[in-house]
Structure 1
Amino acid sequence: MARPLKTLELEFTVLEFFDNYVISQPREGELLAGKQVAALVEVCSDFYAEKNFVYLSYRVNDYNVNPTIYLNLNEVRNLAGIGVVSRKPSSLNMASFEKRFCKIPYEIFLDLDKALLWTQEVIEEKNKKADL
């Protein structure tokens, strides 16, 4: 995997920014709710400006997500999709539940390599739609 272009540590997660995706590794025991999502949207919007990107949640720690955070993410124009990467059954079950609330492409993966392949597909699809 390539080296991140930028790494940013927030109170609740560590973000690694790449060309067209960001990997977020939330900290143990955190709750991702409205305030945290607003911070994520702000830093990702600053980094990617008008460029399409995918948000990858790399779930190695146990934390909680308020699933209603997904309801308005379709308003982030350049967010092409959300991927969840985990091998933990509890994280996979939670991600499957969260997916019901998301209005943009959302997929679940057991390994990062498959998530990165999907990222390219989602970016290409979003770019095609933008060209129409």
Structure 2
Amino acid sequence: MTQRIKTIKLIDIDLEFYDRMVISKVKEDVVFQLAHVEQILRICNEVFEGRNYVYISNRSNNYNVNPTIYFELKEIKSLSGIAIVSERFEALKVANFEKQFSPIPFDIFSNMDEARAWAKTLLKKAGL
């Protein structure tokens, strides 16, 4: 497993940074909205210094996502893809709905190892 570079704990979200990957864990009962996305993108831009990365969402908690947030991602050139990870059927079903809104590569996994492997493959395809 890749070494963690940094951990940042926000009010609603914990972020763990690895080489070209960030794993987020949103807290229980949060409504994940555009303000959260903007905050995460700002932090990722600082940590990754504009280099490409993959965002992995660890959906172990129950929370809601406003699917229109994905429309804002089409302009973010450094975000190479989004992976959703959950063992909960309901979370995977919701993620499958959200996938329709994503303008960038978006995949769904039941474990973190698969998501990390997908992220590495995605970055490698992009020549990074």
Cα pair 2:2 2:19 within 8 Å, conserved = no
Cα pair 1:29 1:64 within 8 Å, conserved = yes
Give matches, 1:41-60, under 5 Å: 41-60=41-60
Report the equivalent of 1:5: 5
Which aligned runs of 4 or more in structure 1 are off by greater than 4 angstroms?
none
Aligned counterparts of 1:124 and 1:72: Cα–Cα separation in 2: 24
Asked whether 1:72 is paired with 2:96, we answer: no
Residue 95 of structure 1 deviates from its aligned partner by 0.3
Percent sequence identity is 38
Report the equivalent of 2:125: 125
Report the equivalent of 2:84: 84
Report the equivalent of 2:24: 24
Cα pair 1:84 1:109 within 8 Å, conserved = yes
Gaps of 5+ in 2: none
TM-score (structure 1 length as normaliser): 0.93
Aligned counterparts of 2:58 and 2:92: Cα–Cα separation in 1: 11
Q: Secondary structure at the match of 2:126?
A: helix
Aligned counterparts of 2:62 and 2:102: Cα–Cα separation in 1: 21
Q: RMSD of aligned C-alpha atoms?
A: 1.1
Gaps of 5+ in 1: none
How many residue pairs end up in the alignment?
128
TM-score (structure 2 length as normaliser): 0.96
Q: Secondary structure at the match of 1:71?
A: helix
Q: Secondary structure at the match of 2:8?
A: strand
